[in-house]
Amino acid sequence: MPIDYFTNPPIADDEMMAAIDIGSNSFHLAIARLDHGEVRKVVSMSEKVQLAAGLDEHNILSAAAEKRGLGCLSRFVARLDSVPPERIRVVATNALRQAKNANDFISRANKILPKPIEIIAGREEARLIYLGVSHTNASSDKRLVIDIGGGSTEFIIGQEFDPLLTESLQMGCVAFTQKYFADGQITKDAFTNAIAGARKEVLAINGRYQKVGWSSVVGSSGTIKAVRNVLVSKGWADEQERITYKGVKKLEKLLLKIGNVGDIDLEGVKEHRKAVFPAGVAVLRAVMKVLGIETIVYSDGALREGVMYDMLGRFASEDVRDRSVLALIKRYSGDKKQAKQVVKTSRHLFEQVKGTLGLSSDDGDLLRRAAFLHEIGLAISHSSYHKHSAYLLEHSDIPGFSQVDQKRMAQLMLNHRRKLKADMLEQTCTIGGNQLVYLCLLLRLAVLAHHSRSDHELPALQLAVVDDHCWQITVADSSEHYAFLLPDLHTEIEQFAKWGIKLSVIEV
């Protein structure tokens, strides 16, 4: 099924792009230029912020952690003058996925940043990590990629540039430090308990991963980099400078001998990583033991590199989000013919009013994808199918989409049919501002226009926005195939009014 795009032109050679990774332990900034299709980093910065350490037992992010994070982002932004906002992405991972007051931090951060923060789901994080690793370490082997972060650990089996299996487990060096090494003491009991906790998590995915299998293992992230550096300096890595399981066990014994995180003085372990290093080693030991891994090669490519390669795809009309849309339509046996009609009309209406309403190409893409997917809830039930569509879009793992993207599409689903409710206006504004309100109304009109599901050509529709609160739709003579179009549009006048929009319907 062909896809229409509202895309920006492709990124040219020597143009700059950037990614900010708001991690649970550290924040990272990478600025790169495009060099013959490859991302070449020119600036790389990282700061230990430890957002995850600022979460209390109720998953409330502390004011101190917020302050650390906002200060770091301000310093990053000072380096972004050479990068246009449309070529910047800011992604956040486990700490903000868990924080109940994440919106407080995000709203303050978005006032600083040139682009809004995207909170990405665990499996989307895993997909992007694999994209970064696969472009940094080219290989045709089927491989397992492991990334131990501050709050979660991602596992990906992939081949070449395609992830085959992705998972994100709730274990990371910051989270496990708080749970098992909070007092800074490195004891046998602490290591045993941390390894047991990680082992329990990994056992849940072991069967599926062993079934798919892999021929090599790649590790990314600060924990694995630090472990590799220590093993190499001690002569405990193999001849190819890979991490070995035997070497990790020797490192555990060494840390037990050291006894306190404050006394760690190992080549390759930076000052800011000392406090979380034993927990990271415990997680790695458990992962290697459960999955039967003997050696791991380190890759410098990770999430931020993956974000930039994903961005390249978006600019080159090779957007994974559109592949995901088509996969969802296929999975839920959507009516492709009806979806294409609604997409065509929604785009026609969007193009007529985008300038007046201040809508961007990103808004157009969101509307287009929602139009393709508006009926997927029919796979569950015809009754209230729009609610089922909304649930599927908000709660599924959809490659390429941030959690905010999915919430916005869910709002479009909820409001594209039936009665509009005044209280939903406030909710829609909170999630996506006035732009999302306008997209909801445009999708309503497009869906309504094809309510008859006729194969005949739709009468010409002209939409004008007199001001933000007064819309006018003009309909050419309706044929017998669209006999109910005008009555249906007149019914919409009352619904639009509930959201503060005066809709006028004119027949010519």
Residue ranges covered by each domain of the chain: 16-120+306-311, 138-298, 319-507
Query: What length is written for the chain?
Result: 508
pLDDT of residue 317: 62
The predicted pLDDT at position 316 comes to 64
What is residue 397's predicted lDDT score, i.e. its pLDDT? 84
Going residue by residue through the chain (508 aa), what tens digit of pLDDT does each one get?
A: 444 544 455 666 678 999 999 999 899 999 998 877 677 888 889 999 989 889 998 999 999 999 999 999 999 999 999 899 989 999 999 999 999 999 999 999 999 999 999 999 999 999 999 998 988 887 788 999 999 998 999 999 999 888 999 999 999 999 999 999 999 999 999 999 999 999 999 999 999 999 999 999 999 988 999 999 999 999 999 999 999 999 999 999 999 999 999 999 999 898 889 999 999 999 999 999 999 999 999 998 889 888 988 888 777 666 788 888 988 999 999 899 999 999 999 999 999 999 999 999 889 999 999 999 999 999 999 889 999 999 999 999 888 888 889 999 999 999 998 899 888 999 999 899 999 999 999 999 999 989 888 888 888 889 999 877 899 999 887 667 677 888 888 899 999 999 999 999 988 8
- In the DSSP assignment, the letter for residue 82 is T
- What's the pLDDT score for residue 164? 93
So what's the pLDDT on residue 380? 93
| Res 377: pLDDT | 94
Domains 16-120+306-311 and 138-298 share a fold: yes
Compute the Cα dihedral for 303, 305, 308, 310 and give only its sign. Answer: negative
Residues 6 or more apart whose CB falls under 8 angstroms from that of 357 comprise: 434, 435, 438, 465, 468
Q: CA-CA distance, 261 to 258, in Å (whole number)?
A: 8
- Residue 147 near residue 153, CB atoms below 8 Å: yes
CA 379 to CA 334: how far, in whole Å?
Answer: 8
According to the model, what pLDDT value does residue 8 have?
55
Residues with Cβ < 8 Å from 87, sequence gap 6 or more? 11, 15, 16, 17, 18, 311, 315
Give the CATH number of domain 319-507.
1.10.3210.10
Q: What is the CATH number of domain 16-120+306-311?
A: 3.30.420.40
What CATH homologous superfamily does 138-298 map to? Exopolyphosphatase. Domain 2 (3.30.420.150)
Give residue 478's pLDDT: 64
- Is 35:57 a contact under the CB 8 Å cutoff? no
